């Protein structure tokens, strides 16, 4: 199954994706995670992307489209994928349509006050990328990942000004994709303001799994 997870920052796209990849038997492809790995490894892409990401802006379409196109050519993506964080602009969506046909677009609906609470408290494992939360999902030992023992840190773009900018960019550039995909009849809406367990159950229901 070829899926796009579409929703604002903090909607829980990554959290749901890790919970359903085994069920669907497809990889999660997060452009944000690919970029953060490139930043950590200080590759030319990472060096170019870091300041853009920290400011809450989008990396240019050409770079991201090429990156996703190459990733979708890998053997593990041949039977499907969850695209988490791509496409984020109409040009990205049009480019994707030229190299892959998606089955469904899962549109995450979460009120802004909940998004702010989630992003402000997010803590991430540097090694396995698991998302914790400072209040609702703390690691058992502070600063240490329960799953792999990696360091748990705060993302540079989870600072208040960057969060605000990311929400603005989402409304201006990414939200129009909902209508774009609705016109193609592939959108399923998911109310994602409840707990992760409840969101997983709702996802299974709307997807008929
Ligand atoms: P990216 O990493 O894609 O960030 P994002 O879209 O802003 O999404 P987030 O990762 O912030 O949120 P999420 O919806 O995955 O929520 P999560 O599950 O983590 O992109 C980062 C940057 O990279 C961009 O700003 C841009 O610069 C660049 N970039 C990436 N893709 C690009 C593209 N296509 N084009 C151009 N530039 C691109 O959850 C958040 C928190 O909430 C966690 O703490 C979690 O534990 C908690 N939580 C989640 N669900 C629940 C729940 N149901 N109940 C309670 N808590 C929950």
Q: How confident is the model at residue 70 (pLDDT cuts 50, 70, 90)?
A: very high
Closest CA to 96 of 113, 71, 120: 71
Asked whether residue 69 is domain-assigned, the answer is no
Asked whether residue 167 is domain-assigned, the answer is yes
In ligand 1, which atom is closest to the CA atom of 118? 42
Using an 8 Å Cβ cutoff, are 35 and 49 in contact?
Answer: yes
Q: How confident is the model at residue 7 (pLDDT cuts 50, 70, 90)?
A: very high
Pocket test residue of 118, 146, 193, 199 for ligand 1, highest count of atoms within 8 A of CB: 118
In ligand 1, which atom is closest to the CA atom of 56? 25
Our answer to whether residue 166 is catalytic in this structure is yes
CATH number for the domain harbouring residue 147:
3.40.50.300
Query: What's the CA-to-centroid distance between 183 and ligand 1, angstroms?
Result: 25
Q: What is the number of domains present in the chain?
A: 1
Asked whether residue 57 is domain-assigned, the answer is no
Alpha-carbon distance 85 to 30, whole Å? 6
User: Which of 2, 36, 122, 123 is an active site residue?
Assistant: 122
CB atoms within 10 A of CB 131: 18
State residue 177's pLDDT score: 98
Residue-range definition of the domain harbouring residue 147:
2-26+79-207
pLDDT tens string 179-189: 999 999 999 99
Asked whether residue 96 is domain-assigned, the answer is yes
State residue 85's pLDDT score: 97
In ligand 1, which atom is closest to the CA atom of 49? 27
Our answer to whether residue 13 is catalytic in this structure is yes
3-state SS of the chain is CEEEEECCCCCCHHHHHHHHHHHHCCCEEEHHHHHHHHHHCCCHHHHHHHHHHHCCCCCCHHHHHHHHHHHHCCHHHCCCEEEECCCCCHHHHHHHHHHCCCCEEEEEECCHHHHHHHHHHEEEECCCCCEEECCCECCCECCECCCCCCEEECCHHHCHHHHHHHHHHHHHHHCHHHHHHHCCCCEEEEECCCCHHHHHHHHHHHHCC
State residue 24's pLDDT score: 97
Query: What's the CA-to-centroid distance between 115 and ligand 1, angstroms?
Result: 10
Asked whether residue 161 is domain-assigned, the answer is yes
Asked whether residue 63 is domain-assigned, the answer is no
pLDDT tens string 22-69: 999 999 999 999 999 999 999 999 999 999 999 999 999 999 999 999
Asked whether residue 38 is domain-assigned, the answer is no
Asked whether residue 114 is domain-assigned, the answer is yes
Ligand 1 cavity residues, CB under 6 Å: 7, 9-15, 31-32, 35, 52-53, 56-59, 64, 85-86, 88, 92, 118, 121-122, 131-133, 136-137, 157, 166, 192, 195-196, 199
Closest CA to 34 of 173, 132, 135, 129: 129
User: Which of 2, 36, 123, 166 is an active site residue?
Assistant: 166
């Amino acid at each position: 199954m070829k899926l796009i997870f579409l929703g604002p920052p903090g909607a829980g796209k990554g959290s749901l994706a890790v919970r359903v990849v085994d069920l669907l038997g497809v990889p999660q492809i997060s452009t944000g995670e690919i970029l953060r790995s490139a930043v950590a490894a200080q590759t030319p892409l990472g060096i170019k992307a870091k300041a853009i990401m920290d400011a809450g802006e989008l990396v240019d379409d050409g770079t991201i489209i090429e990156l996703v196109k190459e990733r979708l050519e890998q053997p593990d993506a041949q039977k499907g994928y969850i695209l988490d964080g791509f496409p984020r602009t109409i040009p990205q969506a049009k480019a994707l349509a030229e190299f892959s046909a998606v089955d469904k677009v899962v549109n995450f609906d979460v009120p802004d006050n909940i998004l702010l609470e989630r992003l402000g408290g997010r803590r991430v494992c540097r090694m396995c990328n698991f998302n914790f939360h400072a209040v609702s999902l703390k690691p058992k030992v502070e600063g240490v990942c329960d799953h792999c023992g990696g360091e748990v840190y705060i993302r540079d773009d989870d600072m208040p000004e960057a969060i605000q900018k990311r929400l603005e960019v989402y409304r201006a550039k990414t939200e129009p994709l909902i209508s774009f995909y609705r016109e193609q009849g592939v959108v399923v809406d998911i109310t994602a303001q409840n707990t992760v367990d409840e969101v997983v159950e709702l996802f299974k229901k709307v997807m008929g799994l």
